[in-house]
Amino acid sequence: MVLLLIGAWQRERWLRHKRQVLTEILDLADALERELLECRARLREIPALAASLSPSEQLSARATLAAEPQVQDALRDLLAHRLWLKDHAADASIGELTSARDALVATRTSLNAQLARLANVRADFEQTVRPPR
């Protein structure tokens, strides 16, 4: 009887941990999707900001748009991960789920660095277009 209770307690603990990791993954995926969409929107604003710059500066501004396909690829990958979760979450091990969570954390960290650089580029463009008074 004691072994049965211990087994039930361990199973409940494992299930609770798995639900927690799944919740973290879904929350991270939602946040990453919002950040990717924000990044794409910011990238698309740069040509308008660069319109009043010299042709060589405009070329530099348009070069930042080369990152947009990477954002699209990341959104597709995120969708693939969501579909994998939908199909395999019930069978996935804690290790697989933890790896998925860690990959999302790493992607978000990298994206946040990209967003910071994008904010700096935008600030530089705005300062070039409208120099400080």
pLDDT in tens, 3-42: 888 888 888 898 899 999 999 999 999 999 998 998 888 8
74 has pLDDT over 80? yes
Determine the Cα–Cα distance for residues 125 and 133; give it in Å rounded to an integer. Answer: 16
Q: What are the structure tokens assigned to 14, written together?
A: 């494992």
Determine the Cα–Cα distance for residues 106 and 112; give it in Å rounded to an integer. Answer: 10
Assign 99 a pLDDT band (cuts: 50, 70, 90). Answer: very high
CB atoms under 10 Å from CB of 39, counted, come to 21
Please tell me the pTM assigned to this model. 0.74
End-to-end Cα, the chain, rounded Å: 80
